[in-house]
Amino acid sequence: MKKKQTRKKRKLVRSRNWAEERDHDFAFTHDRARHRRAQPAVSDAAARDLNPLPRDFTPNAVVINHAKRWAVVEMNGEERLCIIDERLREEESTLLAPGDAVLVEFDGEEAVVRGVAPRRTRLCRPAHEHARIREQVFAANVDVLIVVAAAVEPPFKPGLVDRFLIAAEIGGVAPILCLNKVDLVEQDPAEIALYRGLGIEVIRTSCATGVGIDALRNRMRGKVGVLSGHSGVGKSSLLNALDPALDLETQEISTYSSRGRHTTTAARLFHLEGGIRIIDTPGIRALGLWKVSAGEVAYFFPEIAAFSADCRYRNCTHTHEPRCAVRAAVARGEIPEPRYASYRRIHASLESGTGTTPGRLIMKYAGDKKSLTD
Ligand SMILES: Nc1nc2c(ncn2[C@@H]2O[C@H](COP(=O)(O)OP(=O)(O)OP(=O)(O)O)[C@@H](O)[C@H]2O)c(=O)[nH]1
Ligand SMILES: [Mg+2]
Ligand SMILES: [Zn+2]
């Protein structure tokens, strides 16, 4: 009895013979007349040509945040949800980032982003290997990059700061180093004096005691900024301190796992009191560098670049060559050891063409070695 049932089932499944079936629904046809009849009177493409994307325009909105097909923009002092015209395509770079100036037009009731203005400044990193784009822009048109580092919890890591300083230089953005959580330490990390010595603006803050919050607010008045740094350093807390009305979600550091947990999950532009606009970003573990080759790294370390003219070889990498003026200066203590170590790490990662993005994949760009991370 059992056997019979199995046989029956099998037969049912096999009863359709696709090889012999010629007239099924998906059959391909050369019947052109039939294809023409299936076309609408005015094709979508023709309808679009009646309303082409503008080439020259004056932007009328700023991107707050966005997803694939929609964006939230600030327009006439209000937030508005827009769809993104499907003809705006991503090419090498991110199509929209918080801070982008855009043209929004109305299609009946529907607000549509129809143009993105060229970026005045940008902060970017290499996109991950499988992305269609190569350059990921995480903030556009900002004046100031606020590199946030905690004095402790999580521990101060100069490597990421150095990478952010390079990204700021490339993107035409002024960097500020914000040393947060100063209430938790008696003494600032030693490297802070070093950055001050390099002419980097440093603001010490505490969201717990309010130290430095006014200084940061005054510095940012009338400006557009972006907060970046490791997860848990207090970026969202700083925004809350600057403008308590925001009431952003933050998280106890003790609930972060050792791999880090991101309380903020997407970049977003906030409009604060005093004409301040600041983009909050999710914490990152590492920052890849876009459009920097190994040979160019020294240029971004002014104290190293200053000595390199005296190296024996013009293409000296300052890593192993004889009669290297940079290594001699490090030995004499004229170039700070941590900065030189940072230079070596960045140089090595760019030269090998490999590195890791936060929790992501090993990245490799065939041909050029323009990326990457610690
Ligand atoms: N003691 C002290 N704790 C702070 C300070 N600033 C932030 N914190 C705490 O640090 C933890 C993390 O703060 P968040 O503001 O969520 O950090 P974040 O940089 O936005 O983190 P992500 O969104 O994950 O990138 C929270 O528990 C805050 O209360 C500070 O100045 N002093
Ligand atoms: Mg946050
Ligand atoms: Zn050298």
CATH code of 164's domain: 3.40.50.300
For residue 153, give the ligand 1 atom closest to its CA: 10
- In this structure, the answer to whether residues 147 and 234 fall within a common structural domain is yes
User: Are residue 142 and residue 271 in the same domain, yes or no?
Assistant: yes
User: Phi and psi dihedrals of 176, rounded to 5?
Assistant: -125, 135
Tokens representing 316 are 């000296």
Ligand nearest to the CA of 253: 1
d(CA 170, CA 293): 12
Q: Lowest-confidence range among 11-20, 94-103, 135-144, 263-272?
A: 11-20
Q: How many CB atoms lie within 10 A of CB 190?
A: 11
Residue 175 sits in the same domain as residue 233: yes
Residues 277 and 270: beta-carbon distance below 8 Å = yes
- Please indicate, yes or no, whether residues 242 and 148 belong to a single structural domain of this protein: yes
Counting atoms of ligand 1 from 1, which one is nearest the CA of 231? 25
Q: Which residue carries 């040979």 as its tokens?
A: 295
> Would 330 be classed as within a structural domain?
yes
Closest CA to 175 of 223, 246, 125: 223
Tell me the best of 153, 251, 259, 268 to mutate to test the pocket of ligand 1, counting ligand atoms within 8 Å of each CB and taking the most.
Answer: 251
User: Are 155 and 266 contained in the same domain?
Assistant: yes
233 lies in some domain:
yes
Q: In the listed set 225, 253, 280, which residue is the last one of a domain according to the structure?
A: 280
Q: Are residues 198 and 164 in the same domain?
A: yes
Distance 244 CA to ligand 2 centre (A): 15
Asked whether residue 232 is domain-assigned, the answer is yes
Judge if 86 and 203 occupy the same domain: no
Atom 14 in ligand 1: residue holding the nearest Cα = 234
Instruction: Give me the pLDDT at residue 130, please.
Output: 77
Give residue-wise pLDDT tens across range 120-178: 999 988 877 777 788 889 999 999 999 999 999 999 989 899 999 999 999 999 999 99
Q: From 230, 249, 250, give the residue whose CB has the most ligand 1 atoms within 8 Å, as the site to mutate.
A: 250
Q: From the CA of 232, how far away is ligand 1's center (Å)? A: 5
Q: Enumerate the β-bridge partners of residue 146.
A: 176, 227
Based on the fold, state whether residues 150 and 199 are members of the same structural domain.
yes
Cα(72)–Cα(74) distance, integer angstroms: 7
Sheet containing strand 268-272, strands side by side:
201-204, 174-180, 144-150, 224-228, 276-280, 268-272
**CA 234 to ligand 1 centroid distance, Å:** 3
Give the pLDDT mean for 105-127: 92
CATH code, domain with 106: 2.40.50.140
Residue 252 pLDDT: 61
Q: Which pLDDT belongs to residue 20?
A: 52
HSE-CB of 46 using CA atoms within 13 angstroms: 5
**Of 90, 118, 146, the domain-final residue:** 118
If one counts the domains in the chain, the total is: 3
Q: In Å, how far are 194, 324, 342 from 309, measured between CA atoms?
A: 23, 10, 20
Same domain for 83 and 151: no
Most confidently modeled range among 220-224, 264-268, 291-295: 220-224
Contact 143, 225 (CB under 8 A): yes
Q: Cβ distance 272 to 238 under 8 Å?
A: no
pLDDT category, 31, cuts 50, 70, 90? low
| Ligand 1 proximal residues by C-beta, below 6 Å | 180-181, 183-184, 206-208, 231-237, 250-253, 262-264, 282-283
Residue nearest atom 8 of ligand 1, based on CA coordinates: 234
Residues 6+ apart with CB under 8 A from 79: 64, 72, 73
Q: How far is CA 240 from CA 44, 234, 243, in A?
A: 47, 10, 5
Report how far residue 361's alpha carbon sits from residue 322's, in angstroms, rounded to the nearest whole number.
36
What's the residue count for the chain?
A: 374
If we measure between CA atoms, which residue out of 159, 156, 196, 151 comes closest to residue 175? 196
Q: Give yes or no: residues 150 and 192 share one domain.
A: yes
Q: What is the pLDDT of residue 34?
A: 58
* Interval between CA 293 and ligand 2 midpoint (Å): 31
Rounded distance, CA 224 to CA 226, Å? 7
Q: What are phi and psi of 335, to 5 degrees?
A: -115, 125
CA–centroid distance, residue 332 to ligand 3 (Å): 14
- For residue 360, with 0-12 CB atoms within 10 Å meaning exposed, 13-18 middle and 19 or more buried, which class applies? middle
Tell me whether residue 1 is in a domain.
Answer: no
Does 310 reside within a domain? yes
- Give this prediction's pTM: 0.80
**Window from 165-179, 304-318, 323-337, 348-362 with minimum mean pLDDT:** 348-362
What is the full DSSP assignment across 211-238? Answer: TTHHHHHHHHTT-EEEEE-STTSSHHHH
pLDDT (tens digit per residue) in 235-290: 999 999 999 888 777 766 545 444 455 677 789 999 998 899 999 998 888 888 88
Please state the rounded mean pLDDT for residues 288-301. Answer: 88
Looking at the structure, do residues 144 and 276 belong to the same domain, yes or no?
A: yes
CATH number of the domain enclosing 329: 1.10.40.50
Does some domain include residue 97? yes
Residue 241 CA, closest ligand 1 atom number: 6
CA of 239, closest atom in ligand 1: 15
Residue 71 has pLDDT above 50, yes or no: yes
Question: Which one-letter amino acid corresponds to residue 96?
Answer: L
The alpha carbon of 311 and the centre of ligand 3 are apart by a number of angstroms equal to 5
Residue 48: inside a domain: no
Ligand 2 center from residue 277 Cα (angstroms)? 16
* Average confidence (pLDDT) over 181-195: 95
Task: Give a yes or no: residue 212 inside a domain.
Answer: yes
By CB atoms closer than 10 A (0-12, 13-18, 19+), residue 69 is: exposed
Judge whether residue 111 has pLDDT over 90.
yes
Say yes or no: 192 and 326 in one domain.
no
Range of the domain at 189: 137-280
Do residues 336 and 196 make contact, with C-beta atoms less than 8 angstroms apart?
no
